[in-house]
Amino acid sequence: MTDAAIGIDIGGSGIKGAVVDCRKGDLLSDRERIDTPQGGEPEDILDTVVELFERFDGLEDDVAVGVCFPAIIRNGCTMSAANISKKWIGLEAEKLFEQRLKRDIHFVNDADAAGIGELRYGAASGRDGLTVLTTLGTGIGSALIYNGVLIPNSELGHLEIDGKEAEKLAAASVKDEKDLSWKEWAERLQRYYEHLELLLSPDLFLIGGGVSKDAGDFLPLLELQTEILPAMLKNNAGIIGAASLAAG
């Protein structure tokens, strides 16, 4: 594994990146952020990623780069599109990013990258059994880790619960849009995580995404059989995980 790599995390509301110390899982630079272009069109997101990448001037040309993206990723292609343009579906997205950044990259689902970050440096490290990480943001991403091995592209935010897509019921963006109190939002989260318990019988839930910094306001309101904790890397988990995968 190389010491430093760049991680870029593309989300429905923001595109974030930083230089990462891949031995410790720490940020070596400030975290840079640019709003995701409205509509999330391919060319607009590619342009924004290039703009963000150029902020990390002065690094060696061969520095490893990891990019994580809100879609099912199969052989470098984006096979779905969550909270971005549907034009991404079926694109050879990894090649497009490599062409624009003029270098090889490691391309991965955004929640899977966050799961790898927590596995290598955070709350999933050394845990046996099934860990389910969910990222609560514009939508709900998920990563499944069983005995230290990632099971990719789980997409548990798209489960149907009470006739609704789970992320339309309980994402952090829904709390903001509907101006829900922590208690009101926690009732929706309770329903979601109870359903995941029924389906998966996990040993640990981890909560990532920007709202994880406020975990003390809502996690104590949940009553689950499964231990539930905030992600240690908070909203940097995707950046750190993507960089770590790129570094090897």
Question: Does residue 60 register a pLDDT over 80?
Answer: no
Q: Is residue 17 within 8 Å of 32, Cβ to Cβ?
A: yes
Look over the chain and give the mean of its residue pLDDT values, rounded to a whole number: 96
Q: Could you say which DSSP state residue 31 is in?
A: P
> Could you identify the residue written with the tokens 């994880």?
212
Q: Which domains does the chain have, with CATH numbers?
A: 4-112+237-247 (3.30.420.40), 126-232 (3.30.420.40)
- HSE-up of residue 84 (Cα within 13 Å, Cβ side): 28
Percent residues over pLDDT 70 in the chain: 98
Cα angle 146, 14, 166; round to 5: 50
> DSSP letter string over 158-190?
G-EETTEEHHHHH-HHHHHHHT--HHHHHHHHH
Assess contact for 156 and 140: CB atoms under 8 A. Answer: yes
Question: Mean pLDDT over residues 218-234, rounded?
Answer: 97
pLDDT tens by residue, 69-97: 999 999 999 999 988 999 999 999 999 99
- Would the pTM count as exceeding 0.85? yes
Residues 159-214: tens digit of each pLDDT: 999 999 999 999 999 999 999 999 999 999 999 999 999 999 999 999 999 999 99
73-97: string of b/e by CB count within 10 Å (b at 16+)? Answer: beeebbebbbbbeeebeebebbebb
> pLDDT digits over 16-42, tens only?
999 999 999 999 999 999 999 999 999
Q: Confidence class of residue 150 from pLDDT cuts 50, 70 and 90?
A: very high
Contacts 24+ apart (CB under 8 A), 37-41: 39/85, 40/12, 40/81, 40/83, 40/84, 40/85, 40/88, 41/85, 41/87
Per-residue pLDDT at 9: 97
pLDDT score recorded for residue 62: 82
